[in-house]
Structure 1
Amino acid sequence: MKLEKQMARTITRDLLVSVLLYVAPVALMALSFAISGQKPWLAPHTGPTLQFKAPGFIEAVFNNLASWGLPTIMLTLGVAEFALGLYENKWKKNERILDIVCFVIPKVLIKPAVVFFSLKALPVLLPGLKNAFVWIPFAWAALIIAVFDDLTQYWYHRLHHQVPWLWRFHRTHHSAPYMGMAMASRQNIIYTIFFSQIYLTAALTYLGLGYAALFVTVVKSLITTGAHSSIAWDKPFYKYKGLHPIGWVLERLISTPATHQAHHADTDGDGIGHYKGNFGNMFFIWDILFGTGIITRRYPQTFGIKHYKEEEWYAQFLWPVFKSRKAGSELSKGGPVVGDEPALAPNAPLQVTRAEREEVSVLANG
């Protein structure tokens, strides 16, 4: 109970700090305008305009972001990411189907559809606000959006680990016993539908910040996909002395294979794995600020969930609509709420869990 209260206090404190982080880029932009004397909101604006020449269809897509253009781009990006992710040929059948379904349906169907209908609904929900923020310079818009989007996703991700009843909606992402771009989108459908970035991108496009929102989406997609990659592209920054300063900054700023693979490890007792932290998606700096990250510059040897029962792909993707037939599974009918701590097998010798160790530490330190 004392541990739960401490967790609640920690989350409350970090949420209050987050409010300041959300406000910071907006305040910096306002300060820059005050110092320079610029008043871009007073300048006439007709709407977002494309700043480069391109073939007719490409220009039409970008000039119609707020209607059919953005859904078209989301669909194209989804197909491209799916094609690039199909490099793994050692999957078991159930895992292969799950990865492909989680790649295709959200990226090719759910996200484009949600964006399309959101753009239809926004004029009704926010009448008169179309292109209301088109005056914000691109660089400032991209910074503000990156902070708002990624910090919100950090909290979405963190709470799915720290609140036990939410864990089962995120568990699918951690069930993969391997790392690779093909499993980067491996999520339960409920987790995907309530994912903030889809709605934020649509709303920002309606408000006139579509180009900046799209830029952040693409950059974030590259970083998060690379962080899930089985290719340790960050290793040269640790290996070669001349690259160490760049590596030091890089691993604290964005998610890398080393930091994110630690989050997918099946243990946190080896000094490398840290599935109870390293929650950052595009930016790892949130983990640094909130003390939820570790940096080891090493890579776990095993991934996934130790109590994984290889539940049917449809149960992992569509729980709780469809449940697993695996006895004792968290996803089965009446299954236990295990949380992301490993479950003890029946009649197994008693072990001290990480949560219990932390509670002992809290009691010892008063």
Structure 2
Amino acid sequence: MIQFIEAIFTNLNTWGLAVLTLIIGVFEFSFGLYGKEWNRNEKLLDLACYALPRLVTRPLVAYFGLKFVPFILPHSKDAFEWVPFFWGFIIICIYDDLTQYWYHRLHHEIPWLWRFHRTHHSASYMGMAMASRQNIIYTIFFSQTYLTVILVYLGLGYPALFAKGIKSLITKMAHSSIKWDKPFYEKKWLHPIAWILERTISTPATHHAHHADTINDGVGHYKGNFGNMFFLWDIIFGTALITRQYPKSYGISHYEGDEWYAQLLWPIFKSKVAGSELAANGPMVREDIVKQEGPVIHKQENKEIILETKAITPGLTG
């Protein structure tokens, strides 16, 4: 039984997760869950963001890392091999996800960092592909990219294998357009489980809120809900919003379809979209397109005539 479970997580970190992503991705696409917004430019970007780290970045980091680390820590090989699996697993999960929480949060709160993370928020849809939709430089400086290499060298490769596999599943399912958490909110007898679940790990409801294109509807919360595997960090650091609802729209209000290569490789390649945050001499954080909310009222001979109703988008995305 133990060997079977180990084989599952071993495969999750090689070809298994890719196959799982493909299966669920096909399901999402077949049922139109990406919507009409998933055009050629967006497909190329999602595919490149998914493939490049797995085929180039991570293999190179692993190869050169395992050759470089012995020079930095020459007497530390398998130094932590004595740590029990359970504690190794817990320590890795906490360290890995807590550092990612702050890495993620800082890219929203520090203006000059925003453009490196902007790619992850530009899509007007949610799906499994969104989990890996990142600027390549954001990915390269990801602490998790190097953590696994160091842990393997220190003798904690086995618990790291499980931690990485579980985290990958949770983050992908939190980005998925399949609202698997919805039954927990709809069925009253599942509410106690929902209360614990939504405060422990990222779910579609809490993480979709982070990808909303507005914060004015009481559901969107892109200035919070930063957790990746654990939503617990948002609870602890006061950045959580739990509504058990899903945003009606996603993305960035001023997004005008920057070229996929600019989103993948900015600032090496710049966007040709005038005024874009990724364009040459573009702003660090562009103001969102603001629309009026609620009824637009025109007065005529002391009478109020309601002409139309529009939505409003927030002031700043970063």
- What range is the shorter-chain TM-score in? 0.7 to 0.9
Deviation at 1:86, TM superposition (A): 3.7
C-alpha separation in 1, matches of 2:167 and 2:214: 27
Please state if 1:76 is matched with 2:27: no
> What amino acid does structure 2 have at the position aligned with 1:203?
I
**Residue of structure 1 aligned with 2:150, choices 185, 189, 203:** 203
Deviation at 1:187, TM superposition (A): 0.3
Deviation at 1:84, TM superposition (A): 3.5
C-alpha separation in 2, matches of 1:271 and 1:343: 19
C-alpha separation in 1, matches of 2:3 and 2:254: 53
Cα gap change, 1:335/1:221 in structure 2, threshold over 3 Å: closer, same or farther? same
Cα gap change, 1:184/1:102 in structure 2, threshold over 3 Å: closer, same or farther? same
Please state if 1:342 is matched with 2:293: no
Please state if 1:52 is matched with 2:3: yes
C-alpha separation in 1, matches of 2:61 and 2:21: 19
Aligned 1:228-307 pairs, distance under 5 A: 228-307=175-254
Q: TM-score, normalised by structure 1?
A: 0.73
C-alpha separation in 1, matches of 2:12 and 2:195: 34
**Cα pair 1:78 1:104 within 8 Å, conserved:** no
**Residue of structure 1 aligned with 2:60, choices 99, 113, 116:** 113
C-alpha separation in 2, matches of 1:224 and 1:97: 21
**Cα pair 1:224 1:255 within 8 Å, conserved:** yes
Please state if 1:166 is matched with 2:117: no
**Cα pair 1:85 1:182 within 8 Å, conserved:** no
C-alpha separation in 2, matches of 1:52 and 1:223: 22
Q: Report how many residues are paired.
A: 286
Deviations 1:227-275 (A, max 9, x none): 0010110011111111100000000000000000000000001000000
**Which structure dedicates a bigger proportion of its chain to helix?**
1
**Residue of structure 1 aligned with 2:164, choices 203, 206, 217:** 217
Deviation at 1:123, TM superposition (A): 1.1
Deviation at 1:286, TM superposition (A): 0.4
Q: TM-score, normalised by structure 2?
A: 0.84
For 1:226, the equivalent position in structure 2 comes to 173
C-alpha separation in 2, matches of 1:201 and 1:342: 38
**Cα pair 1:82 1:103 within 8 Å, conserved:** no
C-alpha separation in 1, matches of 2:53 and 2:145: 11
Cα gap change, 1:103/1:253 in structure 2, threshold over 3 Å: closer, same or farther? same
C-alpha separation in 2, matches of 1:215 and 1:98: 29
**Cα pair 2:213 2:313 within 8 Å, conserved:** no
Runs of 4+ in 1 over 6 A off after TM superposition: none
Deviation at 1:108, TM superposition (A): 2.5
Deviations 1:168-224 (A, max 9, x none): 000000001000002221000000001111111110111000011111000000000
Aligned 1:134-173 pairs, distance under 5 A: 134-173=81-120
C-alpha separation in 1, matches of 2:226 and 2:4: 39
Cα gap change, 1:79/1:244 in structure 2, threshold over 3 Å: closer, same or farther? closer
Aligned 1:96-111 pairs, distance under 5 A: 96-111=43-58
For 1:22, the equivalent position in structure 2 comes to none
> What amino acid does structure 2 have at the position aligned with 1:102?
C
Cα gap change, 1:81/1:108 in structure 2, threshold over 3 Å: closer, same or farther? farther
Q: CA RMSD in A?
A: 2.4
SS in 2 for 1:165: helix
SS in 1 for 2:75: coil
Stretches of structure 1 that go unaligned for 5 or more consecutive residues are 1-50, 63-71, 346-350, 356-366
**Cα pair 1:154 1:280 within 8 Å, conserved:** yes
**Cα pair 1:106 1:192 within 8 Å, conserved:** yes
Deviations 1:59-85 (A, max 9, x none): xxx8xxxxxxxxx97553564355345
SS in 1 for 2:168: helix
**Cα pair 2:13 2:164 within 8 Å, conserved:** no
Moved more, 96-105 or 117-126: 117-126
**Cα pair 2:290 2:313 within 8 Å, conserved:** no
Cα gap change, 1:200/1:164 in structure 2, threshold over 3 Å: closer, same or farther? same
